[in-house]
């Protein structure tokens, strides 16, 4: 019969006792109460630390290899790093965070000596973090992207370097105090155009809880942040957003993908309040996207769902509503074989300014837009497609749609607005189309 070895915990209740336990080579340390005013501590390989609250003046706990942090709160200044790793170790082993809370960023990097390792998260809440001072940012698709309150980033240029991870129940910020930057950021090494060209991060599951993020980005710039951001060089089996994800500022993407994702499922609200924000934007490769909750955006040029680059085989969304000038409900610029919106696709407002691939443009508030070069194979809308702003077109198909079904009809409610502008060949049989202008169908020559 196998026997499990009992872990012998060394209990500490003062900073000096904690320091002595670390220096003495103790492998399992339990903190009782609150320890204040400490300098950064480094856990030697194999050391576990659990319990209590650790308050630091600057950086917090540095991990090395095969460390476990469990049921502990680590607090530092918002702009500091609460948990980090020693990049002089070639192999991280398995770094585990279980039931951890922080004030300050969690920053795990593969660079310098690091060439392998696994990160296991089983419950992590980052109460607040300030990332606006971080100068290291990936660049791609015309923009720079802000680091996250939780950041796992493989910066090695060698494609042989792979970090693996399972990230379960990561939460960041609150409605009253969103993190300042991205919420959850996972990235590999990318080139100057945003495409993977080096070390990778391979994830089985990225599961997030409630995320609130505000990048505090000046409007009109080419800087972005994301509530949940999968950056280039990341390969994910499944992303699960089980809590609401909310972004508040200019250029804040709620859900943003530059990587490779097999399945992305969202079961709670996706909401943006800033100008030029987007509910879900894809530049990478996704097989199946299923948003089982409403996407809503509130801001000038803030779109609901955008396929800008890469590939996406199938997208299913509960409903989309946008309220700002220049806000496009759905915009497709690439091939999208299957699109389903189970409810309504609605946008209000007129013409506004929006950030698109690093450039400020003046779009109109179109509910469904298929750009030239874009194509939707099968599009099914279970509710209605409607716009309410003046002098708009509700649906514009400058590219292609193989088949279009809209159970609730297409409705241009604003003064002088038209129903659908499209190229010859699109079958509109059975779709009720109404337009305040009287122009229900407008052919593109």
Q: Tell me, what's the pLDDT at 312?
A: 98
Task: Determine which of 14-23, 28-37, 238-247, 321-330 has the lowest per-residue pLDDT on average.
Answer: 321-330
- Give the model confidence (pLDDT) of 381-415 as tens digits: 999 999 999 989 999 999 999 999 999 999 999 99
Collapse the DSSP code of 18 into the 3-class scheme (helix H, G, I; strand E, B; otherwise coil) and give the result.
helix
* Distance from C-alpha of 157 to C-alpha of 159, rounded to nearest angstrom: 6
* Least confident piece of the model among 143-152, 348-357, 432-441: 348-357
CA dist 332 and 398 (Å) reads 10
| Residue 344 pLDDT > 80 | yes
**What is the full DSSP assignment across 36-83?**
EEEPPEEPPTT-EEESSEEEESS--EEE-SS-EEES-EEE--TTSEEE
Name the pLDDT band for 192 (thresholds 50, 70, 90): confident
| Residue-level pLDDT at 428 | 97
* Residue 192 burial class via C-beta count within 10 angstroms: exposed 0-12, middle 13-18, buried 19 and up: exposed
Mean pLDDT rounded to a whole number for the chain:
94
Model confidence pLDDT, tens digit, residues 105-114 = 999 999 999 9
Which residues neighbour 372 within 8 Å (Cβ) at sequence distance 6 or greater?
398, 399
Q: What distance in Å separates the CA atoms of residue 323 and residue 314, rounded to the nearest whole number? A: 26
pLDDT over 60 at 1, yes or no: no
User: Per-residue pLDDT averaged across 118-134, rounded?
Assistant: 97
Q: Which two tokens stand for residue 395?
A: 């649906």
Query: What whole-number distance in Å separates Cα of residue 96 and Cα of residue 71?
Result: 11
Pairing of strands 400-406, 252-257: unpaired
pLDDT grade, residue 7 (50/70/90)? confident
- Please tell me whether residue 231 adopts helix, strand or coil conformation: coil
Rounded to an integer, the average pLDDT of 51-65 is 98
* ∠ Cα 46 112 110 (to 5°): 60
Across 273-329, where does the E strand assignment appear?
278-282, 285-297, 303-307, 311-322
**Distance between CA atoms of residues 333 and 399, nearest Å:** 8
| DSSP H or E stretch at residue 8 | none
The full length of the chain comes to 445
For range 355-372, the mean pLDDT? 74
Region of 267 please: left (phi>0), alpha (psi -120 to 50) or beta.
alpha
Handedness of CA 168, 245, 147, 310 (dihedral sign): positive
pLDDT at 351 over 90: no
Burial of residue 423 (number of CB atoms within 10 Å: 0-12, 13-18, 19+): middle
Distance CA 410, CA 386 (A): 6
- Residues 234-281 pLDDT 10s: 999 999 999 999 999 999 999 999 999 999 999 999 999 999 999 999
222: left (phi over 0), alpha (psi -120 to 50) or beta: alpha
At 210-234, the pLDDT tens digits run: 999 999 999 888 999 999 999 999 9
Token digits for 248?
A: 């508040």
Q: How confident is the model at residue 5, as a pLDDT?
A: 66
Average pLDDT over residues 19-39: 97
Distance of alpha carbon 247 from alpha carbon 270, whole angstroms: 9
CB of 424 closer than 8 Å to CB of 441: no
Return the sign of the alpha-carbon dihedral for residues 357, 358, 359, 362. positive
Distance of CA 118 to the CA centre of its chain: 21
Confidence at residue 360, expressed as pLDDT on a 0 to 100 scale? 55
CA distances from 274 to 44, 354, 363 (A): 44, 11, 16
Q: What is the mean pLDDT of residues 50-67?
A: 98
Q: Mean of the pLDDT values across residues 173-179?
A: 97
3-state SS class at 279: strand
In whole angstroms, what is the distance from residue 48 CA to residue 288 CA? 38
Judged against a pLDDT cut of 80, whether residue 358 lies above it is answered with no
Sequence spans of domains, the chain = 10-88+100-110, 306-445
User: What's the first-to-final CA gap in the chain, in angstroms?
Assistant: 79
pTM of the entire predicted model: 0.95
- Across residues 150-165, what is the average pLDDT? 98
> Distance between CA 147 and CA 139 in Å, rounded?
11
Residue 36: pLDDT over 90: yes
Instruction: Give the C-alpha distances (Å, rounded to integers) separating 144 from 335, 400, 423.
Output: 25, 31, 36
Residue 357 has pLDDT above 90, yes or no: no
Distances (CA, A) of 125 to 100, 128, 309: 6, 9, 32
Largest CA distance in the chain: 82
Give the residue carrying structure tokens 């389903």.
Answer: 340
């Amino acid at each position: 019969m196998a026997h499990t070895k009992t872990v012998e915990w060394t209990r500490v209740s003062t900073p000096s006792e904690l320091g002595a336990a670390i220096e003495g080579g103790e492998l399992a340390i339990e903190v009782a109460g609150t320890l204040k005013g400490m300098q950064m501590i480094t856990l030697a390989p194999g050391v576990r630390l659990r319990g209590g609250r650790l308050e630091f003046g600057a950086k917090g706990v540095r991990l090395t290899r095969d460390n476990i942090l469990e049921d502990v709160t680590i607090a530092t200044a918002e702009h500091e790093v609460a948990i980090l790793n020693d990049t002089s170790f070639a192999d991280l082993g398995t770094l585990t965070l279980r039931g951890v809370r922080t004030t300050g960023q969690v920053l795990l990097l593969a660079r310098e000596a690091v060439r392998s390792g696994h990160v296991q998260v089983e419950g992590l809440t980052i109460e607040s973090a300030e990332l606006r001072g971080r100068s290291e940012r990936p660049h791609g698709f015309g923009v720079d992207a802000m680091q996250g309150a939780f950041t796992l980033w493989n910066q090695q240029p060698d494609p042989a370097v792979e970090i693996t991870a399972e990230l379960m129940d990561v939460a960041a910020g609150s409605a009253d105090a969103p993190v300042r930057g991205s919420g959850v950021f996972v990235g590999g090494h990318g080139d100057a155009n945003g495409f993977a060209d080096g070390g990778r991060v391979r994830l089985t599951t990225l599961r997030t809880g409630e995320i609130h993020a505000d990048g505090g980005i000046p409007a009109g710039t080419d800087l972005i942040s994301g509530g949940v951001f999968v950056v280039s060089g990341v390969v994910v089996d499944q992303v699960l957003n089980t809590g609401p994800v909310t972004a508040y500022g200019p250029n804040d993407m709620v859900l943003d993908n530059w990587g490779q994702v097999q399945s992305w499922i969202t079961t709670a609200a996706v909401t943006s309040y800033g100008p030029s924000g987007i509910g879900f934007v894809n530049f990478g490769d996704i097989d199946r996207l299923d948003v089982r909750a409403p996407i809503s955006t509130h801001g000038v040029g803030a779109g609901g769902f955008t396929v800008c680059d890469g590939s996406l085989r199938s997208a299913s969304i509960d409903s989309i509503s946008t309220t700002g000038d220049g806000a496009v409900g759905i915009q497709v610029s690439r091939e999208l074989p299957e699109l389903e919106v189970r409810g309504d696709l609605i946008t209000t407002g007129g013409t506004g300014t929006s950030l698109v691939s690093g450039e400020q443009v003046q779009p109109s508030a179109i509910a469904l837009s298929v750009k030239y070069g874009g194509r939707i194979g099968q599009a099914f809308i279970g509710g209605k497609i409607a716009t309410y702003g003046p002098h708009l077109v509700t649906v514009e198909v400058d590219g292609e749609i193989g088949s279009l079904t809209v159970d609730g009809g297409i409705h241009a409610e604003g003064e002088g607005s038209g129903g659908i502008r499209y190229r010859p060949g699109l079958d509109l049989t059975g779709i009720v189309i109404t337009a305040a202008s009287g122009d229900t169908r407008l052919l593109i020559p």
